[in-house]
């Protein structure tokens, strides 16, 4: 009885403590002195209340609260204690910005001198001890991408929500976290840029200038970084549209590795006063920059190029008409291919390029605006049912480039003029290393270049490396955890700082080829902690598992059948007039591994469990025998592994427009209610071990969500269609003879 009484008292006390609030005296946001004091008091009170309540504070929260409370010595110890078994970031210790900030605070408190002075000294000492490679990446670690705008907005939002005289423990922690990031980077970032620039100038000769293209006299902004007092060297060029202060890293990295680093920006960017026209002039401008480099006294006549996304596109564009004699190699990562994967994929325009236009064309550098603006815009467009070509009207900002793009829904001469097309790949005869990832948004662009190059120049020295990386990881140093998937140790390679420059050393300095490139196609098998190497993409698999879309329904889903069933028809309906429901809104693999997926969105097919493990290698394909009550429709096919543990591992996905299934260059409308076969094979490559007991899931769906165009099926230009064209819902009749082909590698 006594023990029960004690237990009841403890439970009651716990409930009481959890209900208690932490004292918070709110100051005016504009009163920086009072605001600082209020947040320091909140941090101090948070530590006290947590101790009283016996609540453990996670170490990644503890150090920041200690810093805000003024307990700097304790915070340093906490930071250092969290570094055990933690890898460094870009060659720098984990939590470096916070440690330097705290060290400066200790000096400020001890010597009663301004923080700016102490931080400058602490930072300068650190920078002087950095290696050249560390210096090339330190601004990534110590600065924000948007001049602290995101951290400022987040803190202000949380501060406005907080109400005096008390807030809950959870609210206090959220507020402290956001204030900490705002406080650290708000006070340090202006100093960081100046000190890094000073240290860079001490080590390198840095020259920024405008060159004039001999082709059409256009201005192009160029930055050259080279070690002081060196002989002529090979130059490594990055050509980009992303002009900002962090871009200099792309020239510093080569300079730190024994090359001359050159950064050039698209016309109209940086110091150039030309009009900004993405994708249009790179085929001339990059060639002109290579030519200029080859004539400089610091260059030995050899030029290489590297970079990802738009920067990868620029490399291919430079070779459209011919390869400059000085260009000896390129390393395009996650390469964008205009008209292929941006701003549309399989002829469906995505919404994200709309905001990208503003980001890169608003001024000579980059235009950062509130992410919420774009989120609101695409949601407003979706729910309004307005035509796609009215997007900028809803945004109340004219966007001529957007209209120019959507006026070319086919892969026509407009897009073909930007990059090599068909026979134009044949003259590209320099060594190339292409890099992409299974979860790279630009994988289809990267693979387009790779496949077309080898199609028109079968003997090309072109290597492909692909692994479990996203758009960022495949052009830098991949994170060990990709959207919830823990990379195998074998996949954790330093692409930007190691692999790429091992390749440059091989081609430009005569050293050995990187060990990982054992054959033309090199790919990491997820779950097996190993790389495989094959002479071609087709050789990645040696077997095909074919599944039919069976009509038998069990537990709310259909069945993937290994044998062709008796022909019957399944029905998929999409009501474009109903904006309370979306279709295919969660196809994007984020996270990669999910505890659950929507099994009532689209037609869901699940296989029987595999009796033994399999390795899926390559791109899945399919044939849909289908009829529709519309002249056109957009559809998706998503592929998952359902593990024996009941988790959903997203392997690949496809999104496409039926009227372009035969050719991306010419639209062929459907005949109403007439059965036709739609073939697709432009899906994302993946390599993964599928364990015994796993099942495959295929989801076939229509496409109706705020992320892309909505095809109402009238046969008109999709960009002009609106909800007024919805009429009857789209009705798809899909034959059970439709099939999905899964590429398998059998090691037996």
DSSP string, 486-543: EPPGGG---IIIIIHHHHHHHHHH--PPPTT--SSEEEEEBTTTEEEEESSSGGG-SE
**Does the structure show a pLDDT above 60 at 251?**
yes
Find out whether 220 and 285 touch, Cβ atoms under 8 Å: yes
List % helix, strand, coil for the chain (3-state, nearest 5): 35, 25, 40
**DSSP class of 691:** P
Between 147 and 182, the higher pLDDT residue? 182
Residue 603 pLDDT exceeds 70: yes
User: Residue 199: what are its φ and ψ, rounded to 5°?
Assistant: -70, -35
Q: What is the pLDDT of residue 66?
A: 97
| Separation CA 206–CA 252 (nearest Å) | 9
User: Omega into 591 within 30° of 0, i.e. cis?
Assistant: yes
- Whether the pLDDT of residue 666 is over 90: the answer is yes
Q: Which part of the chain has CATH 2.60.120.260?
A: 541-744
pLDDT reading at 451 higher than 50: yes
The pLDDT, as a whole number, for residue 21 is 80
Q: Where in the chain is the domain with CATH 3.40.50.1820?
A: 213-341+414-538
Distance separating alpha carbons of residues 90 and 506, to the nearest angstrom:
23
What per-residue confidence (pLDDT) applies to 86? 53
Is the bond preceding 343 in cis, omega lying within 30 degrees of 0? yes
**In whole angstroms, how large is the CA radius of gyration of the chain?**
28
User: Which pLDDT tens digit goes with each residue over 611-620?
Assistant: 999 999 999 9
Task: For 359-397, give one letter per residue: b (16+ CB within 10 A) or e.
Answer: bbbeebebebeeeeebeebbeebbeebbbbbebbeebee
Q: Does the pLDDT of residue 17 top 60, yes or no?
A: no
At residue 247 the predicted structure's pLDDT band, cuts being 50, 70 and 90, is: confident
Give tens-digit pLDDT for 691-729.
999 999 999 999 999 999 999 999 999 999 999 999 999
Question: Backbone phi, then psi, for 436, in 5-degree steps?
Answer: -150, -175
Quick one: angle between helices 443-456 and 310-317, nearest 10?
A: 20
Neighbouring residues of 78: CB distance < 8 A, sequence distance ≥ 6: 59, 62, 63, 66
Q: Is the pLDDT of residue 14 over 70?
A: no
Strand partners, 698: 605, 639
Give residue 47's pLDDT: 95
Question: What is the per-residue pLDDT across 423-434, written as a single tens digit (0 to 9) for each?
Answer: 999 999 999 999
- The per-residue pLDDT for 179 is 96
- pLDDT tens, 527-581? 999 999 999 999 999 999 999 999 988 888 999 999 999 999 999 999 999 999 9
Q: Is 484 helix (H, G, I), strand (E, B) or coil?
A: coil
Is the pLDDT confidence value at 324 over 90? yes
Which pLDDT score, from 0 to 100, does residue 240 have? 98
The whole-angstrom distance between residue 395's C-alpha and the CA centroid of its chain comes to 25
Q: What does the buried/exposed string (b/e) look like for 628-639 if buried means 16 or more CB atoms within 10 Å of the residue's CB?
A: bbbbbbbbbbbb
By CB neighbour count within 10 A (0-12 exposed, 13-18 middle, 19+ buried), where does 11 fall? exposed
The pLDDT-based confidence of 11 (bands split at 50, 70, 90) is: very low
Q: Are 358 and 348 a contacting pair, CB within 8 Å?
A: no
Q: What is the pLDDT of residue 573?
A: 98
Q: Which fold has domain 541-744?
A: Jelly Rolls (2.60.120)
DSSP secondary structure letters along 371-401: HHHHHHHHHHHHHHT--GGGHHHHHTS--HH
Q: What is the mean pLDDT of residues 41-60?
A: 92
Q: What is the pTM of this model?
A: 0.91
CB atoms within 10 A of CB 713: 28
Counting residues of the chain whose pLDDT is more than 70, the rounded percentage is 97
Closest C-alpha to 195, from 138, 147, 111, 237: 138
How confident is residue 85, by pLDDT bands cut at 50, 70 and 90? low
Given this model, what pLDDT does residue 91 score?
85
Question: What is the rounded average pLDDT of the residues 172-181?
Answer: 96
| C-alpha to C-alpha distances, 304 to 286, 483, 503, 691, 722, nearest whole angstrom | 12, 33, 10, 42, 48
For residues 661-670, b (16+ Cβ closer than 10 Å) or e, as one string? beebeebeeb
Q: What is the DSSP letter of 583?
A: B
Q: What is residue 84's predicted lDDT score, i.e. its pLDDT?
A: 66
* pLDDT of 4 above 90: no
Contact indicator for 269, 221 with CB cutoff of 8 Å: yes
The CA-atom distances, in angstroms, between 468 and each of 311, 570, 688 are 21, 35, 9
pLDDT at 229: 83
Tell me the per-residue pLDDT of 264-284, one tens digit each, with 9 for 90 and over. 999 999 999 999 999 999 999
The token pair that represents 507 in the structure block: 């081609």
Three-class SS state of 458? coil
Three-state secondary-structure class, residue 307: strand
pLDDT at 90: 76
Average pLDDT of the segment spanning 86-106 = 88
Q: Using the predicted structure, report yes or no on whether residue 2 has a pLDDT greater than 50.
A: no
Residue 695 DSSP label = E
The mean per-residue pLDDT over the stretch 7-25 comes to 51
Q: Residue 652, Cα to own-chain centre: how many angstroms? A: 16
Determine the pLDDT at residue 5. 36
Select from 302, 196, 284, 206 the least CA-distant residue to 239: 284
Percentage with pLDDT > 90 across the chain: 88
Tokens standing for 386? Answer: 């307005």
Domain 213-341+414-538 has CATH 3.40.50.1820: yes
pLDDT tens digit sequence for 462-520: 999 999 999 999 999 999 999 999 999 999 999 999 999 999 999 999 999 999 999 99
Q: Which H/E stretch holds residue 196?
A: helix 169-203
């Amino acid at each position: 009885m006594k023990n029960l009484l004690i237990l009841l008292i403890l439970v009651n006390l716990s409930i009481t403590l959890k209900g208690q609030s932490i004292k918070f005296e709110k100051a005016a946001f504009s009163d920086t002195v009072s605001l600082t004091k209020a947040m320091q008091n909140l941090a101090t009170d948070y530590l006290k209340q947590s101790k009283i309540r016996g609540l453990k504070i996670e170490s990644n929260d503890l150090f920041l609260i200690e810093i805000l409370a003024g307990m700097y010595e304790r915070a340093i110890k906490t930071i250092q204690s969290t570094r055990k078994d933690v890898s460094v970031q870009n060659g720098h210790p984990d939590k470096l910005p916070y440690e330097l900030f705290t060290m400066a605070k200790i000096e400020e408190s001890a010597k009663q001198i301004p923080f700016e002075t102490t931080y400058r000294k602490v930072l300068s000492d650190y920078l002087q001890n950095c290696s050249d490679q560390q210096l090339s990446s330190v601004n990534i670690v110590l600065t924000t991408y948007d001049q602290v705008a995101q951290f400022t907005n987040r803190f202000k939002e949380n501060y406005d929500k907080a109400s005096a005289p008390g807030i809950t423990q959870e609210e206090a922690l959220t507020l402290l976290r956001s204030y900490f990031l705002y406080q650290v980077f708000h006070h340090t970032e202006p100093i960081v840029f100046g000190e890094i620039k000073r240290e860079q100038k001490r080590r390198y000769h840095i020259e920024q200038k405008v060159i004039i293209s001999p082709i059409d006299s256009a201005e192009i902004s160029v930055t050259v970084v080279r070690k002081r007092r060196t002989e002529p060297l090979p130059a490594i060029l990055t050509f980009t549209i992303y002009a900002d202060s962090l871009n200099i890293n792309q020239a510093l990295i080569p300079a730190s590795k024994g090359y001359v680093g050159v950064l050039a920006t698209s016309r109209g960017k940086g110091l150039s006063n030309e009009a900004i026209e993405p994708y249009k002039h790179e085929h001339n401008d990059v060639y002109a920059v290579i030519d200029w480099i080859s004539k400089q006294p610091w260059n030995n006549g050899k030029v290489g190029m590297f970079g990802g996304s738009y920067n990868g596109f620029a490399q291919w564009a430079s070779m459209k008409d011919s390869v400059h004699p000085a260009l000896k190699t390129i390393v395009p990562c996650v390469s964008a291919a205009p008209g292929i994967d941006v701003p549309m994929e399989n002829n469906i325009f995505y919404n994200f390029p709309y905001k990208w236009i503003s980001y890169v064309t608003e001024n000579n550098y980059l235009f950062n605006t509130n992410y919420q603006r774009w989120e609101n815009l695409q949601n407003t467009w979706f729910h309004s049912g307005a035509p796609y070509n009215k997007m900028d009207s809803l945004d109340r900002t004219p966007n001529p480039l957007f209209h120019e793009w959507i006026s070319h829904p086919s892969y026509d001469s407009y897009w073909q003029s930007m990059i090599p097309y068909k026979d134009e790949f044949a003259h590209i005869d320099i060594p190339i290393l292409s890099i992409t990832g299974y979860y790279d948004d630009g994988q289809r662009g990267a693979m387009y270049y790779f496949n077309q190059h080898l199609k028109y120049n079968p003997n090309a020295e072109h290597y492909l490396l692909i692994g479990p990386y996203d758009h960022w990881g495949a052009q830098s140093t991949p994170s060990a955890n990709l959207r919830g998937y823990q990379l195998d140790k074998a996949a954790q390679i330093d692409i930007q700082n190691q692999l790429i420059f091992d390749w440059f050393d091989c081609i430009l300095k005569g050293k050995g080829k990187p060990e990982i490139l054992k054959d033309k196609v090199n790919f990491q098998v997820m779950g097996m902690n190993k790389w495989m190497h094959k002479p071609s993409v087709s050789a990645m698999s040696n077997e095909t598992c074919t599944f039919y879309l069976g009509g038998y329904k069990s537990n709310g889903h259909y069945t993937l059948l290994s044998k062709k069933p008796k022909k019957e028809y399944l029905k998929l309906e999409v009501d474009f007039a109903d904006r309370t429901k979306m279709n295919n809104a969660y196809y994007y693999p984020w996270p990669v591994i999910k505890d659950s997926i929507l099994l009532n969105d689209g037609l869901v097919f699940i296989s029987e469990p595999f009796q033994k493990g399999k390795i899926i290698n390559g791109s899945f394909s399919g044939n849909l025998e289908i009829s529709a009550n519309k002249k056109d429709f957009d559809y998706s096919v998503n592929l998952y592994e359902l593990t024996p543990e009941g988790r959903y591992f997203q392997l690949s996905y496809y999104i496409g427009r039926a009227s372009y299934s035969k050719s991306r260059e010419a639209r062929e409308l459907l005949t109403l209610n007439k059965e036709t076969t739609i073939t697709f094979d432009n899906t994302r490559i993946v390599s993964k071990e599928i364990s015994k007991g796993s099942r495959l899931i295929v989801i076939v769906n229509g496409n109706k969500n705020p992320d892309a165009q909505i095809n109402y099926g009238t046969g008109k230009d999709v960009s002009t269609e609106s909800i007024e064209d919805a009429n009857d819902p789209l009705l798809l009749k899909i034959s059970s003879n439709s099939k999905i082909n899964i590429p398998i590698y059998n090691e037996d």
